[in-house]
Structure 1
Amino acid sequence: MKKTKIIVLLIVVLINAMSCGQNKKGKNMNYIDYKEKLKNLTTSKDYLNNIPFYLLGYNFTKSFIHIEINGKLFVKDYKRSTKIQGYHFVNQFLNQKRKQKINVKIYPSKSDLFDEFSNFRINLSMLPSKKAWDNVNFTEQHYLIEYNTDDLTGEKDEDGFPLTENGKFKRKINIEGLPYFEKEFEFEAEMPFENEALQNSKDLREIDSTILEQKVLGQYHAFINSVKNKDENTYWEMYYNKVAYWAKANFFTEKDIDDLIKEGEMYYNMMSYQPIENYELVFYDEGRLVCFESKSNDLEFKGKSPLIATAVNPNDPKDVFRNPIQFYFYMPKDSNELQIMY
């Protein structure tokens, strides 16, 4: 009897082992190494010599700022943050229409009207190649766009000092006393390819807002759950879809891709994510892109993604790192499901 039980037990164990092996084999057959896919996006060094790159720099004081490039959000900031100001690659926002548009809106941050210290500036420059980025000197760059509300008139008084009026420097652009300021710029740029996925997508404003909201919420939850449940394949698939077009459009080098992978590993291994709440549904690019934006009263997070990556310093519980991670979704014309654009 004992011998029979042992044989039965061995059969059960063998069947289970075979079943596990089949599952593992099936999983491997369907498994995609998204880190390797990212590495395959690396641009060859020879190609980098001939591709132009466009960079947008900006700065603002005592104001809220909202910048869109061809209808896509570049930045929305309700709290002046030096860490996000500076120069940023913007190839991913461009198209093959040659004429590109930048729209800048600013609002007073401390009262209903701009004061004498409220200002903003933007500079758009083109680098002839990615290699030029290593030795770039922005003071010598040719700007396609250069705009600064603090520009002085250039006039000087009899002693050679900048001309003032009522004790204030005379400016070419004076926004003091205004409740709002908007400026649109156009420039020409050539992109070697078009974002075909976005060109062949639906106007999401035509979809029932309740249904669409649930679809967007499901995408954010899928990302959170991939980290929470240690579903590595789902996480890297979503991460790849978020960064792939950005990497492709800006012709990322091997080092750029390595940095992307390290960042992805950090957000997977070291971060936690809170429930999605207090948000609104927002559309960009004539309704082809949709996302959630936070309605938080905390100006650091208002207008940003409600998906916040959080990490606590184990040596100092008061030292908490929080960073919004945004996803923009589109829907192909032949589908009813959202896809990640970037």
Structure 2
Amino acid sequence: MKLLTKEELIDSIAKQVKHYPKDPMYYLRINQLNCIYEVLVNDEVVDENYSLAQYASATEINKAILKPGTQTVTYMLYPIGDLIKEEYGEGKTITTLLDNTEISIDVIRVNDVNTYESITEDEKLVLKHHSKKNTDTGKFAGTGLPYYEYSFTFEAKVPYEIEGSVNAIDLRKLDQEKLESAVVYQYKKVQKLYKAKDVASLLDMEYYNFVRLAVTEYRDKQYIKEMVDQIYVPILIEDKNFQPLKNYKVSYQGNGRIINLEHPIFTLDDSIDKRLYGKPAFWFLFKKNNKTRVMFRSILLSIPEDKHKKGEFNFGYAR
């Protein structure tokens, strides 16, 4: 695909969006106790909470639903660490999940997002999940663990079908040391694109993600323009101070077909600033109104099957 101008890219995306007699939208409403978490749908992160806060609003998940049928929700729970001490000024560091740890997830369907006004009238509960308890003790099933993961499924009825990363190879099967080095090298190439303010190349990286989001959420042209601007504007920031790639972990999504570098969610020491927990490893500082600001960019990579050659890392940008 040739590199498009910003206007051409917006037009190209808008032409792929379809509207139906009803545009259904799916959401998750999540509540947790004594843990921090990440929630994935079809192995794509859709929500995360690294604080003690409870969020009342529901999270849209259509972007992770590529076709009708069975969808998989996975959650990962982590201990709260020093959060109680930071919140109340006292307490001890919690390094394992507690007896009364829990999470509940409601899967919700709105039949037509265009007329969505009332929680009571428009929202339909598809499934309600509550974390498991030990049948003998009544305590959380993951009590005492430093990490707990669980998956469940639900059925979604959406009117669209869009291609994802199914035609990419499983990166977990490659030499992990060489793969990590190749990913770091690719990140440094992206950094050069930012330094050069290569708008066309950087927007091209995001093209398929733009299309997927716009199509699955039935977005209009104005929203697409604003979405593209969120990528376009940071490219033009002057004097970006890129931070070194360090203290990161290799993370997989899409059943091993998508790879990225990110900071860990939880550590037992002070090697990582807590403000970086779960954030992308690609980030930079910049000045705005005489204040230092931060910008994180998530770079998701895959290797298409038709471009894979043994011993080579022909990355594309994940869909």
TM-score band (shorter)?
Answer: 0.7 to 0.9
Alpha carbons of structure 1 residues 49 and 41: separation in structure 2 relative to 1, 3 Å: farther
Distance 2:244 2:203 in 1: 20
Match of 1:106 in 2: 77
- Are 1:292 and 2:276 matched, yes or no? no
Q: How many residues align?
A: 284
Match of 2:63 in 1: 92
Q: 8 Å contact 2:247–2:272 — kept in the other structure?
A: no
1:36-55 correspondence to structure 2 within 5 Å:
36-42=8-14, 47-55=19-27
Residues 87-145 of structure 1 show CA distances to partners (whole Å, capped at 9, x for unaligned) of: 332122224361111122323213134265x5433222112223134x24368621213
CA shift for structure 1 position 334? 1.0
Alpha carbons of structure 1 residues 32 and 60: separation in structure 2 relative to 1, 3 Å: same
- Are 1:68 and 2:33 matched, yes or no? no
Task: Pick one of 103, 122, 143 that aligns with 1:178.
Answer: 143
Residues 313-334 of structure 1 show CA distances to partners (whole Å, capped at 9, x for unaligned) of: 424x3xx433432122221111
Match of 2:188 in 1: 221
Match of 1:267 in 2: 234
Alpha carbons of structure 1 residues 256 and 198: separation in structure 2 relative to 1, 3 Å: same
Q: Which letter does structure 1 place at the counterpart of 2:143?
A: L
Distance 1:177 1:332 in 2: 37
- For structure 1, the 5+ residue unaligned runs are 1-29, 150-172
- Are 1:257 and 2:224 matched, yes or no? yes
Match of 2:293 in 1: 321
Task: Pick one of 312, 316, 319 that aligns with 2:287.
Answer: 312
Q: 8 Å contact 1:105–1:182 — kept in the other structure?
A: yes
Secondary structure of 2:226's match? helix
Structure in which a larger fraction of residues adopt helix: 1
Residues 197-252 of structure 1 show CA distances to partners (whole Å, capped at 9, x for unaligned) of: 51222111122223322332233223322221122222222233443322222222
- Are 1:230 and 2:207 matched, yes or no? no
Q: Which letter does structure 1 place at the counterpart of 2:104?
A: R
Residues 1-38 of structure 1 show CA distances to partners (whole Å, capped at 9, x for unaligned) of: xxxxxxxxxxxxxxxxxxxxxxxxxxxxx652144223
Alpha carbons of structure 1 residues 201 and 123: separation in structure 2 relative to 1, 3 Å: same
Q: 8 Å contact 1:70–1:102 — kept in the other structure?
A: yes
Alpha carbons of structure 1 residues 76 and 298: separation in structure 2 relative to 1, 3 Å: farther
Residues 65-108 of structure 1 show CA distances to partners (whole Å, capped at 9, x for unaligned) of: 121212223344434567x8833321222243611111223232
Match of 2:113 in 1: 130
Task: Pick one of 104, 119, 136 that aligns with 1:121.
Answer: 104
Q: Which letter does structure 2 place at the counterpart of 1:288?
A: R
Task: Pick one of 274, 277, 283 that aligns with 2:252.
Answer: 283
- Are 1:187 and 2:170 matched, yes or no? no
CA shift for structure 1 position 44? 8.6
Q: 8 Å contact 2:111–2:122 — kept in the other structure?
A: no
Distance 1:242 1:46 in 2: 16
Match of 2:125 in 1: 143
Task: Pick one of 177, 198, 206 that aligns with 1:210.
Answer: 177
Match of 2:305 in 1: 333
- For structure 2, the 5+ residue unaligned runs are 82-93, 132-137, 265-270, 309-313
Alpha carbons of structure 1 residues 61 and 325: separation in structure 2 relative to 1, 3 Å: farther
Residues 163-201 of structure 1 show CA distances to partners (whole Å, capped at 9, x for unaligned) of: xxxxxxxxxx86499235544332101344444351222
Distance 1:253 1:91 in 2: 15
Match of 1:165 in 2: none
Alpha carbons of structure 1 residues 87 and 223: separation in structure 2 relative to 1, 3 Å: farther
What is the percentage of aligned positions where both structures have the same residue? 19
Distance 1:241 1:46 in 2: 16
Distance 1:252 1:86 in 2: 20
- Are 1:248 and 2:215 matched, yes or no? yes
CA shift for structure 1 position 306? 0.5
**Larger-gyration structure (1/2):** 1
Alpha carbons of structure 1 residues 258 and 32: separation in structure 2 relative to 1, 3 Å: closer
Distance 1:138 1:224 in 2: 47
What is the RMSD of the two structures over their aligned residues, measured on CA atoms?
3.2
